[in-house]
Amino acid sequence: MENLKKIAGIKAAEYVKDGMIVGLGTGSTAYYFVEEIGRRIREERLNITAVTTSSVTSEQARRLGIPLKSIDEVAEIDVTVDGADEVDDAFNGIKGGGGALLMEKVVATPTKTYIWVVDESKMVHQLGTFKLPVEVVQYGAEQLFHRFEHAGYKPSFREKDGKRYITDMQNFIIDLDLGVIEKPVEFGRELDHVVGVVEHGLFNQMVDMVIVAGKNGVQILKSTKEK
């Protein structure tokens, strides 16, 4: 599996050219993309500026000598490469397994070409087997938890080292065990209007291309979403 992720990450780096502003994703597959960008800067003198989606990726980029800017220092991003936890037939996805969904969506929004790199196990017909992360403010988080519980969404607070996990933006994550999300676009809109929800892990109709690594090689799937 790790080898598949590496293949997908390296393939995605081919879409990065000199002079670009590049969004660097977070997670186990995006890790290999970032490593390849670092190699190209070192060995091929690739000239790019990067924006990162988490403190973990920022540390990796600095270690590799990748020049960084903050999201507020750039007007737009040429290409962003990130991972995904699930991708459905309509190119909707769930992200946030690594806890960086808010920063990932902030970086994805001004991106001209948005690419996901995944192994074939992440491709599904319908979203929902992977728990849907919902980032919430700490104040009133219990109220939101009970609301989700009453709605039948089977919520659980994400934990790390026996304590509630706190994101880079100092929020909690409530994971929803939905089983199947029949209408991800509509459900995303529902969550958008819940007070106290900062962001959710439904990345609906945002991606332009999905690079899928599998036992039969690399497949490149292109979305037909409207620009």
Any idea which residues carry the catalytic annotation? Answer: 104
- Give the β-pairing of 155-157 and 172-176: antiparallel
- For residues 178, 138, 111, 90, the Cα torsion angle rounded to the nearest 10 degrees is 10
Looking at residue 45, the DSSP 8-state letter turns out to be: -
Q: Is the CB of residue 175 less than 8 Å from the CB of residue 132?
A: yes
First-last CA distance in the chain: 33
Q: How many Å apart are CA 31 and CA 5, to the nearest integer?
A: 9
Question: Shortest CA distance to 1 belongs to which of 120, 96, 82, 97?
Answer: 120
Q: How many Å apart are CA 15 and CA 20, to the nearest integer?
A: 10
> Which residues, including other chains, have CB under 8 Å from residue 45's CB and lie 6 or more apart?
none
